[in-house]
Amino acid sequence: MTAPPGDVPRGRTRITTRALTRLIARVTADALAVAADQVTVGLTDAAGRLSVHVRAPIGIGALTGPSTGATVLERAERAQKHIRHETARLTGTDVVRVVVQVTGALIRSTPRRPQRAPRAEGRRVL
């Protein structure tokens, strides 16, 4: 017996706590311009929805260079929204609350460059 078109039964995908924690650490690291291993993530269940608490330093560009114009508080608020949106988008999880705790500042002498994935030499990667 086949389901009628448009009435396709949907399955479930379970994401382990470890995978979710690592994903949120990476999303947070990108938002705060630090390495993912500098981020601590706490997850709690809030009546079937996800509550996230992250602790990390915030990356700050060279103090002698051009400024982004955003304060640490503004960047933390943007990071909070980014973490909520990206976690929900990537996992389908209903994120009810995100707390961002800035633990310090990492001042860089040069601007941070995006990390590139290593290229395979002479091989095509699918």
C-alpha triplet 44, 83, 90: angle, nearest 5°: 90
Task: State the pairing for strand pair 40-46/95-107.
Answer: unpaired
90 inside domain:
yes
**Domain with 76 in it:** 17-62+71-107
In 2-117, DSSP assigns E strands to 40-46, 49-60, 95-107
CATH number at residue 58: 3.30.70.1350
* Number of domains, the chain: 1
> Which pTM was predicted?
0.73
Per-residue pLDDT of the chain (126 residues; tens, 9 = 90+): 555 566 666 777 778 899 999 999 999 999 999 999 999 999 999 898 999 999 999 998 766 656 666 788 999 999 999 999 999 999 989 999 999 999 999 987 765 555 555 555 555 444
In sequence order, what are the beta bridge partners of 54?
Answer: 41, 100
Decide: 25 and 92 in contact? Cβ < 8 Å: no
Q: Which of 17, 52, 26, 56 is nearest to 38 (CA)?
A: 56
